[in-house]
Amino acid sequence: MFKFARFIAVLNARNREFWRDRAAMSWNLIFPLLLILGLSLVFSDENPAQYKVAIVGATEIPEPLEKIKYIDYVLYDEQSNALQKLQYHQIDFLINWSASSYALNNNSPKGYLAAKIFESSLHGFTPIEVSGRAIRYVDWVIPGVLGMNTMFSCLFGVGYVIVRYRKSGVLKRLNATPLTAFEFVLAQVASRFFIVVSISVLVFLLTWWAIDFLVLGSLGLLLLILLLGTLSLISLGLMVASKSSSEELTGGLLNVASWPMIILSGVWFSLEGAPQWLQYIAQIFPLTHMVSAARDVMIDGATFRDIAYHIIALAVMSGLFLIISALAFSWGKQR
């Protein structure tokens, strides 16, 4: 029979437990503020650009073009790279300032309108016409969604398990055995690695069959990106949970690690037109390199040489996070 007094007693006990856990309470207050601040920085433009225009052959935006409003200019070193983006409707218009030419995609309505906008500013420029089907948003976003799913499986799948082991005393009992911290951490990594990779491959194949999204590059290269990305994210989750015995605190720390990656790693939208300093910050996240490399392979048909920077970054991060996890690992509760 339900007793209100017993219910109130348990309710008060749980509330007191939470309020006394200062670390968890702090993260519950600080994390939303940090998230709102981050979103305000990313989406602070009150007058968003309506067209994305590539500029080739200039180190800065030419003065006559700066006066045209609502245009997002992106500087390119090579015209071939910009033309490929134009072919797949990833940019709306291309201007080669040094060669006095411009290019538009015949199949792009926005490209046609952009050409009309720049018509008076590009008098005497030679037109170049390209064609190509638009890359669907689903083609572009699939690497980000699959990467995000992998990230959550890695961070929360391993982080909470370690904290639960520590809180329940399992780690303390394991510490009495000849098992070393590195052996334990490595076993956790291997177990989660196998599970996440297997599920990610299955999800990729099923969605590819169902949606028929674009894959221009090597499947073997995509598998390599998945392996390194998974390893780095699991190692990050272990590092976050290396000492804490509070599930609330660990949840807050894992959210602090994961949400900036969702916002700044190109999961849902490109940072190509974002401020340079924001793009530099995004490079510290393993998900950035994982999603960028996968997207380059799938959409642009990139080779190993093209994504070597991302591969090296993921490998270095994996090793660094794993070493820190092993060195900082604690068997017992932290007081």
Res 47: pLDDT: 59
Task: Give the domain ranges of the chain.
Answer: 4-42, 51-130, 137-328
The percentage of residues in the chain with a pLDDT greater than 70, rounded to a whole number, is 82
Q: Round to whole Å and give the CA distance between 250 and 271.
A: 29
- Plot region of 244 (φ>0 → left; ψ -120 to 50 → alpha; else → beta): beta
* pLDDT tens-place string over residues 196-226: 898 889 988 988 888 888 888 889 999 999 9
Q: Is 88 helix (H, G, I), strand (E, B) or coil?
A: coil
Nearest to 187 by CA among 300, 68, 282, 329: 329
For residue 310, the tally of other CB atoms under 10 A from its CB is 24
Model pLDDT for residues 291-314, shown as the tens digit of each residue: 999 998 988 888 899 899 999 999
Q: pLDDT, tens digit, for every residue of 3-53?
A: 667 567 766 776 676 666 665 555 566 656 666 666 566 555 555 677 888
Compute the distance between CA of residue 85 and CA of residue 114 in angstroms, rounded to an integer. Answer: 15
How does pLDDT run across 58-75, given as a tens digit for each residue? 888 888 888 888 888 888
- Cβ–Cβ < 8 Å for 288, 265: yes
CA atoms within 13 A on the CB side of 3: 4
- As a whole number, the mean pLDDT across the chain is 80
End-to-end Cα, the chain, rounded Å: 39
Q: pLDDT tens-digit profile of 259-282? A: 888 888 888 877 766 677 888 888
More confidently predicted of 77 and 309: 309
pTM for the model stands at 0.68
Distance (Å, whole) CA 82 – CA 56: 8
Residue-wise pLDDT tens digits, 159-176: 777 777 777 777 778 777
pLDDT at position 335 over 50 = no
> 10 Å Cβ neighbour count for 145?
15
